[in-house]
Amino acid sequence: MKLFILTTLFGLGLPQHNPHFKDGRTTIVHLFEWRWSDIAAECERFLAPKGFGGVQISPPNEHIVLDNPWRPWWQRYQPISYNLCSRSGSEKEFIDMVTRCNNVGVNIYVDAVINHMCGSSGGEGNHSSCGSWFSASKKDFPSVPYSAWDFNVNKCRTATGNIENYGDIAQVRDCRLVSLLDLALEKDYVRAKVAEFMNKLIDLGVAGFRVDACKHMWPGDLQNVYGRLHNLNSTWFPNHSRPFIFQEVIDLGGEVISSREYIHLGRVTEFKYGAKLGKVFRKWQEEKLCYTRTWGEGWGFMSDGNAIVFVDNHDNQRGHGAGGSSIITFWDPRLYKMAVGYMLAHPYGVARVMSSYRWNRNFVNGKDQSDWLGPPSNINGSTKAVPLNPDQTCGDGWVCEHRWRQITNMAIFRNVVNGQPHTNWWDNQSNQVAFGRGNRGFIVFNNDGWDLDVTLNTGMPGGTYCDVISGQKDGNRCTGKQILVRNDGNALFKITYTDEDPFVAIHAESKL
Ligand code: QV4
Ligand code: CA
């Protein structure tokens, strides 16, 4: 108890807040809708060598398979059982992925959908990813098994049984989110089944969970479930390691359910981060980059040790969930690289990088009618592999933002400056800013409509450094810009506002 109070007071971190990154790594990448066999290969050939800390995977358990619309990505948020066969692969492939990623020091975090099963109009039959029979109308899922008793029915007070008013806390948690059959997590039996599912994954070697739709579950119920979880598998993690938990709660302020209700249980998604950063880089509502001097708690975000941060996620990059129109995605690559670069350079929070697939957008009155489109697929609905182009980018519609040089190099930057304070801030009172991370790294942005040409104190040892945005260090030369830091730490920076990427970053390991 004493230790608990101490760690809370001094922000040393609660056990379930620790991502258990290996070897000083710091960044999670969400390989949205990737197949397990592709993730296994990506861990070995790219993520480990480039220093990524872990992968958030799509839900691995059995899900509904829908024809109308055809195989939408969101069918995976409609569980049918906890068997490990999904659009991403079989249980055997899942185990192979976890083993191979762990063996090269890359953690796997599972997207756990535990608030609900499929939608109430999900029909009856075996249109499910492992072929298990179920009946949505009878609330019968024999492969778990769950029956009608295991769902919130009488607890929900709305006429439709769905959430109708987000201002009513009980409704949000006891009624159905967009008609998804809502599990009665107050029941010992349901808690035990959910924990059994998560424990199976822990025993196979996963490092933790992104817990879906936490706003729709009572914190006390979650606390009970988390309390049942095993420690991480000691083949790959230190003894007594608790699973890393990060909870999806969309709290942009002004709602009756606050992210604060969940922070003692694990980290929580800080949705204000991407929404605000989007406004700043888009210069909406008079926002300016210079105002980000106090980025982090100073902007009303939750405390650093509780936050998981991201520029966009799989929902708000296509208009689902909340976050709004300010969110920047790969569709705006120039702004996106800057925003992700800013996030990875800044010390606040555990950072997650999005890795997406392209889809044919079709806007009607501002709404994308194709926001449901699933991953690149074959005619039979199976997900396509991720092929690599000769330049190491991905083909067949996979965007692979994490392989964009600027983003990969900033993930490396974050590792190199890990633990260093935010220092040597400079701004022009507009959209040109710079900051350092102790004496390990320095970054300069020009998001104004005019050139930047200024000498700044980098706080770094003298020498010639390679900019890791326009290129990188390659042996004893730079493939992009060179930055000469004088012995007093000062360096001249020039960033033309029309540059392809109007920012420059140097770090201790990019020194010639
Ligand atoms: C529709 C209507 C209902 C109607 C029903 C009738 O909306 O009112 O009763 O048909 O059949 C899909 C459809 C949705 C449909 C529903 C049930 O889009 O139109 O209901 O299925 O058939 C993803 C998608 C959802 C999708 C869901 C399940 O975003 O569109 O719903 O998967 O397939 C809130 C939450 C937050 C949530 C966010 C999106 O607080 O928790 O909305 N985010 C997470 C995930 C998200 C996922 C879910 C939660 C649900 O990140 O991807 O939703 O697991 O802000
Ligand atoms: Ca619920």
CA distance 365 to 343: 32
Q: What's the 323 CA to ligand 2 centre distance in angstroms?
A: 21
**Alpha helix (H) residue ranges in 51-134:** 91-103
What backbone phi and psi angles, to 5 degrees, belong to 268? Answer: -135, 145
* Tens-place pLDDT, residues 375-430: 999 999 999 999 999 999 999 999 999 999 999 999 999 999 999 999 999 999 99
* Tens-place pLDDT, residues 114-140: 999 999 999 999 999 999 999 999 999
CA distance 137 to 274: 38
On the question of pLDDT at 240 being above 50, the answer is yes
Tokens for 100?
């191979």
Tokens for 125?
């039959």
CA distance 141 to 139: 7
* pLDDT mean over 495-505: 98
Q: Which one-letter DSSP state was computed for residue 180?
A: E
Confidence grade of residue 324 (pLDDT, cut at 50, 70, 90): confident
Pocket probe for ligand 1: among 32, 68, 77, the residue whose CB has the most ligand atoms within 8 Å is 77
Q: If DSSP codes are grouped into helix, strand and coil, which group holds residue 118? A: strand
On the question of pLDDT at 1 being above 90, the answer is no
CA distance 507 to 3: 36
Residue with the nearest Cα to atom 42 of ligand 1? 321
Give residue 113's Cα distance to chain centre: 15
Q: Is 162 in the pocket of ligand 1 (CB under 6 A)?
A: yes
**Amino acid symbol at 140:** D
Using alpha carbons only, give the angle 52, 406, 341 rounded to the nearest 5 degrees.
Answer: 80
Count of C-beta atoms within a 10 Å radius of residue 498: 8
| pLDDT for 235 | 98
Topology agreement, domain 31-110+185-269+357-398 and domain 422-510? no
Residue 354 pairs in a beta bridge with 30
Q: What's the 356 CA to ligand 1 centre distance in angstroms?
A: 19
Q: Is 212 in the pocket of ligand 1 (CB under 6 A)?
A: yes
Which residue in 259, 266, 220 sits closest to 242, CA to CA?
Answer: 266
CA distance 32 to 398: 10
Q: What's the 458 CA to ligand 2 centre distance in angstroms?
A: 50
Render the burial of 289-315: b for 16+ CB within 10 Å, e for the rest.
Answer: bbbbeebbeebebbebbbbbbbbbbbb
Q: What's the 229 CA to ligand 1 centre distance in angstroms?
A: 27
| Ligand with minimal distance to 250 CA | 1
Antiparallel, parallel or unpaired: β 452-457 and 490-495: antiparallel
Q: Which of 5-19, 177-191, 212-226, 334-348 is predicted least confidently?
A: 5-19
Antiparallel, parallel or unpaired: β 107-112 and 54-57: parallel
* Tens-place pLDDT, residues 429-482: 999 999 999 999 999 999 999 999 999 999 999 999 999 999 999 999 999 999
| pLDDT for 322 | 75
Query: How far apart are the two ends of the chain, measured CA to CA in Å?
Result: 50
The CATH number of the domain covering residues in 422-510: 2.60.40.1180
Q: Compute the chain's Rg from CA coordinates.
A: 23
Contact present, 227 and 217 (Cβ < 8 Å): no
Contact present, 27 and 52 (Cβ < 8 Å): yes
Tell me the CATH class for 31-110+185-269+357-398. Answer: alpha beta
Q: Is 215 in the pocket of ligand 1 (CB under 6 A)?
A: yes
* pLDDT mean over 94-110: 99
User: What mean pLDDT value characterizes the chain?
Assistant: 96
User: In the chain, where are the structural domains located?
Assistant: 31-110+185-269+357-398, 422-510
CA distance 443 to 284: 23
| pLDDT for 405 | 98
| pLDDT for 2 | 44
Q: Which of 7-16, 88-97, 158-167, 447-456 is predicted least confidently?
A: 7-16
Which residue in 210, 203, 143, 156 sits closest to 183, CA to CA?
Answer: 156
Which residues form the catalytic set? 212, 248
**Amino acid symbol at 12:** L
On the question of pLDDT at 8 being above 70, the answer is no
Tokens for 457?
């104190």
| pLDDT for 321 | 84
Alpha-carbon separation of residue 7 from 55, 100, 240 (angstroms): 27, 34, 17
Confidence grade of residue 9 (pLDDT, cut at 50, 70, 90): very low
| pLDDT for 200 | 98
* Tens-place pLDDT, residues 268-309: 999 999 999 999 999 999 999 999 999 999 999 999 999 999
Residue with the nearest Cα to atom 11 of ligand 1? 121
Q: Is 64 in the pocket of ligand 1 (CB under 6 A)?
A: no
Alpha-carbon separation of residue 91 from 113, 203, 213 (angstroms): 17, 13, 24
